[in-house]
Structure 1
Amino acid sequence: MPKINSRLYLAVFTGWVLIGTLVTGCGEAEATITRLAVGTPGPDPYSPMSGTDEVRLTARAQAGGTTDGDSPGLYGGTRRAASCDPAKLVEFLRSDPAKAQAWAAVHGIKPAEIAGFVGRLTPVLLRTDTLVTNHGFRNGKATAAPAVLQAGMGVLVNEYGFPVVKCNCGNPLTEPEKKISTGDAKYTGQSWPRFTKGKVTKIKPREASRGAVPVFVLVDPEAKIGFDRPRATLGTLDGPPATLPATETTDPSGGVPGTDLPTPSDSGMPADSSSPGVPTDGTGGPTDEPTGEPTPEPEVPGTPGAQQSGPEPTGEISAAPEQSAPPVSS
C-alpha cells in the first residue's frame, strides 16, 4: 500500500475547506435584492392599485441598520387621511379564491380570517428605504424574494410595527432573512437618486412580550409636524398636530432630506396621485397650530397586548370590520 504524504493531504484538505467556506460566505452575503420604487407595483402583483404612495416625501435622516417598529417618526402619513384602502384589498381577495389562499398562507392564516387580519392593520408611509421579503403571485402560487421598498411607499403595518402589506399591489410582506447583508448584496431593478446600500433599513417588530403598539407617532410628508395615529385606525382618529419627535434631526450627510425621491413624471404616477396634504389656513401652515404640549394618548378599542383573533373560519372571507368613518379611497 503506497505511503500517504500526510503534509500534502493536510494541505489539500485545508484548501478545500477554505474554498468551501469562501463559496458559502459569498452565497449568503451576495444576495440579490430587487429595488421597488414608489408608484410601481413591481413583479407579480396581486392587485395593482394607484394613489397609495407619496412621491414627494421628506425622508427620515436616521436611516440604515436595524430600527424598532414602534420608533417615533419611523413612519409617516397624511393627517386625517389613509393612503391605503384595506377594504378594497379584502374585497379583491374575496373575489379571487386562488389568490386569497396564497395570500393567507404567507401570513399563516386561513382565507376566512383575511378580513379580521387586515382590519387590525394600520396604514402608514415608509420614511426610509426598507428591506423586506416581498411575496408576489405567479402561476397560481405565492413567490418570495428579498426587496427594498423606497421611502414614500404606502404600507400596512401590523400591531408590532412591521410592514405586512405593500399597498400599491396588495402583496403580502414578511421579515427579510437574517443572513442577508444589505451592504454586500447585489441590487437589481429601477434605482432612485441618492439610493445607497448603507441607508437601507431593517425594521425589527416590537417584542410581543411588550404587547401591541397602542399608538404610532407619525410625521407628515413634509416633515413639518408629528401626530399620533391609534393602531388599526384609518386617519379619522388621528391626534392634533404636534411637534416633531426628538428623532427628527438634521441629515447627518449635510444634504437636504427628502430630495432623493423622483417627481411624479419620473415615477410613472400621475401628478395628482399623491395623498392629499394637511389642510392649510391659506398660508401654507396647518389649520391646527402645533401647541408643543404632549398629545394625550387616544383611547384604542380593546386591550393593548391582548391576543386578537380573526373571525371563525367559514370557508369564505368574512366582511371587514366597520371603521368609524370610511377610508380615503386610493
Structure 2
Amino acid sequence: MKAVAAGSASLAPFFDERGGLGRDADVRSRPAHGGLQQGDTPGLYGGTGEAASCDVGRLKRYLAEPRNDRKARAWAGALDLRTDGIPEYLDRLTPVLLRHDTLVKNHDYKKGKAAPFNALLQAGIAILVDEQGLPAVKCSCGNPLRPFEGDKSRISVSFDDGNEKWKGYDRSEVVVVRPASRELERIALVDVEDPDRGIERPVGTTGGEDTAFDTRKRRAVPSLIGTTFGEASRRLAGRGLAVAYDGEDVPPDGARVSASDPAAGAGLRFGAHVTLSVAEDTGTSGGGTTPPGSEPSRETRSPGSPVPSRETKVPGSPSSSPSASSFGPTKSERPGSPSGVPADTSAPAGSIAPPPPDTGSAPPPPRPTPPPTHPGTPGTGSPPPGSTASPPRTTASSPPAGGPVTSSAPPPPTGAPAGSAPATGVPATPEAPATSAPAERPRRTRE
C-alpha cells in the first residue's frame, strides 16, 4: 500500500503534473464513522468557493490528441472504457476534494500500459468522482482510479518517494468508498475553508452551478423503522444526514431497519451520522426473497467490479444511490407438494400430464394392485366399484395414485367401471414416491 500525499508528484504519472490539470488543497483528515462510506454520504467530499479543482476540459483535450493515443488507450482500458467513450465519460464526472484519507486502486503509466497499485490518498487531494460517488480520476496527474478491493483492517502503508507521513494520519480513520445505491443528481459537499458553508453541486458540473447552504441548520431524523436499509439511506442522505450501521459490512439494501440511533425526530447538524440496526432475516429491497445461492443485489454496483451500470461505479460505493431491485422465486409452489417442487402451469386444469422422459433406468417391477376399498378406508384413495368420480387431476411433477402412468394408455373399454385400470396399462402403485424412476410405459396392441 503506497501513500500518496497531497501536492506530491507521482513518479510515473499519465500526464505531466505541471500542466495544471488539478490543484490539491491543504485539508486535515476528518474522523469517519466506520471505514466504509457510501458515495452519497453528505459531507464525504469537500469543495471550495473558488474555481474548480479539476480542469476536465483540458484533460479531455489531452486524451484526444493523436500524440497521446497510446496513453488514451491505456487510460481507457484501466476504466473498462473504449477510447471513443472517453469524452462522454468525463462529462459525467464531478470534481471534489477528499476530506478523508481514502484507499483506492491507483494506476501509473509504465511501458505503454496502466500499472495498477493500491494507494492511500491523503485528504485534500483533488479527484473526479462518478455518478455513484466513486473516485474515478486523480486530477493533478490524470491517473485513473478504481475502488479498493482489499481488507482495510490489514493494510500496511509505505511512506516513501517523497510521500512522508503527514500530520494527523490515523490508520483507524482511513476510508473506503462504496457505490451509492442509486445514481446521484447532486453531491452535497462541505467547504474545506469554511465548514459552516455547504455546497450542493450538480453531478457532471465543475462548480459553475453550485448553490450554498448552511451546514449548522438542524435536520430532523425521519422515521425509518420498517423501511429497507437502501430506502433509509436515501431518506437520510436527502436530509443531509449520513448513515452508520451495526456490523462490519454494509447491510444489503433490502434489509429491514429495526432501530435508529438517534431516534426519529432528533435534530442533527449536516453530515451527522445516524446508526441503523437491521433485522437478522433480510431479503432484498422490495420485500422479495433472495433466491438460494444468490447475493442480494444493489441497485448500485459494487466497487472493484466494473460498475455494471455507471449508476454503480464507486470505489467506496456511495456515489449515488441505486434504485431498489427485488429478487424472488420465479415459480410458485404447488400447494401440498413437497417444498421446492414448482407447480406446472403450462397445461390447463384437468388435462393429463405428458409422460416423463425415458431416462434409461430400469423400471420398477409391477406390484399387484390392491383391491379397492370402501370410501373412507385408510390407506387407499381408489373409488368404490361403480363410482363415477373422476380421477384426480395430475401434474407433470408426479403421476396420480391409482391412475394411468402416462397419457398414451388407451381409454378403458366402453362400460368398464370408472377407476379400473386399462387392460394394457400397468397401474401406478400408490406407495411409489413422486421421485422414483418412471414406471414401465403401457404398450399398445395393434388391431
**TM-score tier (shorter):** 0.5 to 0.7
Q: Residues of 2 paired with 1:187 and 1:181: CA distance?
A: 14
Q: Residues of 1 paired with 2:76 and 2:24: CA distance?
A: 27
Q: 1:183 to 1:111 in 2, by over 3 A?
A: same
Matched to 1:226, the amino acid is: G
Contact 2:75–2:144 (CA under 8 A) maintained in structure 1: yes
Deviation at 1:43, TM superposition (A): 2.6
From 86, 89, 113, the counterpart of 2:59:
89
Q: Residues of 2 paired with 1:64 and 1:131: CA distance?
A: 13
**1:150-205 deviation line (CA, Å, top 9, x unaligned):** 00000000000001000010000001123x33444242332211212211100011
Contact 2:199–2:211 (CA under 8 A) maintained in structure 1: yes
**1:106-149 deviation line (CA, Å, top 9, x unaligned):** 11111111011001000000000000000111111110000000
From 133, 140, 164, the counterpart of 1:161:
133
Q: Residues of 1 paired with 2:157 and 2:46: CA distance?
A: 28
From 26, 49, 53, the counterpart of 1:79:
49
1:52 aligns to what? 22
Contact 1:63–1:128 (CA under 8 A) maintained in structure 2: no
In structure 2, the residue corresponding to 1:143 is in which secondary structure? strand
Larger fraction in helix:
1
**1:54-78 deviation line (CA, Å, top 9, x unaligned):** 4322533326511011100000001
Contact 2:54–2:95 (CA under 8 A) maintained in structure 1: yes
2:96 is equivalent to residue 132 of structure 1 = no
Q: How does 1:1-330 map to 2 (within 5 A)?
A: 33-47=1-15, 48=17, 49-50=19-20, 52-62=22-32, 65-79=35-49, 81-95=51-65, 96-178=68-150, 180-189=151-160, 190=163, 191-207=165-181, 210=182, 212-222=183-193, 223-244=195-216
Contact 2:22–2:141 (CA under 8 A) maintained in structure 1: no
**1:83-103 deviation line (CA, Å, top 9, x unaligned):** 001111111111200000000
Greater relative contact order, per chain length (Cα 8 Å cut-off, separation 6+): 1
Q: 1:51 to 1:59 in 2, by over 3 A?
A: farther
In structure 1, the residue corresponding to 2:58 is in which secondary structure? helix
Contact 1:183–1:198 (CA under 8 A) maintained in structure 2: no
In structure 2, the residue corresponding to 1:145 is in which secondary structure? strand
Contact 1:129–1:149 (CA under 8 A) maintained in structure 2: yes
Q: CA RMSD in A?
A: 2.6
Q: Residues of 2 paired with 1:82 and 1:234: CA distance?
A: 6
Deviation at 1:52, TM superposition (A): 2.9
In structure 1, the residue corresponding to 2:140 is in which secondary structure? coil
Q: 1:52 to 1:111 in 2, by over 3 A?
A: same
Q: 1:64 to 1:37 in 2, by over 3 A?
A: farther
Contact 1:182–1:200 (CA under 8 A) maintained in structure 2: no
Deviation at 1:241, TM superposition (A): 3.4
* TM-score, length of structure 1 as denominator length: 0.61
In structure 1, the residue corresponding to 2:136 is in which secondary structure? strand
User: What are structure 2's unaligned runs of at least 5 residues?
Assistant: 217-239, 243-268, 271-299, 301-308, 312-447
Return 40-49 or 130-139, whichever deviates more: 40-49
**1:297-324 deviation line (CA, Å, top 9, x unaligned):** xxxxxxxx9x789xxxxxxxxxxxxxxx
In structure 2, the residue corresponding to 1:172 is in which secondary structure? coil
Q: 1:169 to 1:54 in 2, by over 3 A?
A: closer
Contact 1:123–1:234 (CA under 8 A) maintained in structure 2: yes
Larger radius of gyration: 2
Q: Residues of 1 paired with 2:126 and 2:33: CA distance?
A: 17
Runs of 4+ in 1 over 4 A off after TM superposition: 244-247
User: What are structure 1's unaligned runs of at least 5 residues?
Assistant: 1-32, 248-291, 294-304, 310-330
* TM-score, length of structure 2 as denominator length: 0.46
Equivalent residue pairs, number: 218
